[in-house]
Structure 1
Amino acid sequence: MSIFGKIKSAIFGNNGPLGGGVFGGSKPAAPAAPQTTQAQPQVAPRTPQPQSVPAQVPAAQPVDVEQVLTGIASGKGNPDLNWRTSIVDLMKLLDLDSSLTNRKELATELGYTGAKDGSAEMNIWLQKAVMRELEKSGGKVPAGLKD
């Protein structure tokens, strides 16, 4: 899984904004049909009845990225992590490897064109790019975190 994929999964859950993780569980698999050795009676298939379709299906609510990250931070009890401005702290908060090697990989994934040397410029760009990508993936991100 990509570095950004790991970040997204840690915030949205394993199945995207609507399933798994923090925002709902995935449905358990349906139980298997019982196996019997007796022949089942044949029943003629029923003709499906027309059903009304709602005119508009409500859109899924976006994931509040700031709220999720604030909740994770408060749950860990580590107020020293400045995840709002530091990509290193964001990755640490999400229990991801924040090494320069991983940040270089993340920079490549997100299209960073500058020197991948761990500079403040690269890290600031990464933090904002991650927030923009989270928003594109269905997250609600305050302007101050992505601009």
Structure 2
Amino acid sequence: MGIFSNIMGKIFSRKKPAEAPAAAPAAAAPAAAAPAAAPPPEPVDVEAILEELASQNPQKLNWRTSIVDLMKLVGMESSLAERKELADELGYTGDKSDSATMNIWLHKQVLRKLAENGGKIPAELID
């Protein structure tokens, strides 16, 4: 499992399960009918989940601007080596020895990827 998948799993697993719709009686649908397509999953409110985690954390972590704090908030290692590995995973082509620039890029990329995978992210955080 990659680092981004781990981040996504730690956030998305906190989504409250949706209530299951009541099952229709079996006789209501013709036997030959194709099964109805499942509705698309509800977006995961990433901001609400991270804000809840931040409120429960004794450290003041600024996940909105810091990839280090975001990783710490979800309980992950945030070392430079881990961030460099994440940068490789997400296709960073810049100088990884310029950690400030890499960190800014990583933060935006992680939030964009979360949004692409069903996360609800405020537009100002990914623009």
Q: TM-score range by the shorter chain?
A: 0.7 to 0.9
- Report sequence identity in percent: 54
Structure 2 contact 15–44 (Cα < 8 Å) conserved: no
* Paired residue secondary structure (2:4): helix
Structure 1 segments unaligned to the other structure (5+ residues): 14-20, 26-48
Q: Distance in 1 between matches of 2:63 and 2:55?
A: 12
The answer for the alignment partner of 2:3 in structure 1 is 3
Matched, 1:125 2:105: yes
CA RMSD of aligned residues (A): 2.4
The answer for the alignment partner of 1:18 in structure 2 is none
Residue identity opposite 1:50 in structure 2: A
TM-score scaled by structure 2?
A: 0.81
The answer for the alignment partner of 1:61 in structure 2 is 42
Residue identity opposite 1:24 in structure 2: P
- 1:93-132 equivalences under 5 Å are 93-117=73-97, 119-132=99-112
Matched, 1:72 2:53: yes
Aligned residues: 117
Q: 1:100 to 1:112 in 2, by over 3 A?
A: same
Structure with bigger helix share is: 2
Runs (4 or more) in structure 1 with deviation over 3 Å come to 51-58
Q: Deviations over 1:115-145 (max 9, x none)?
A: 1125211100000000000011111111111
The answer for the alignment partner of 1:50 in structure 2 is 31
Residue 56 of structure 1 and its aligned partner are, at CA, apart by: 6.6
* Paired residue secondary structure (1:83): coil
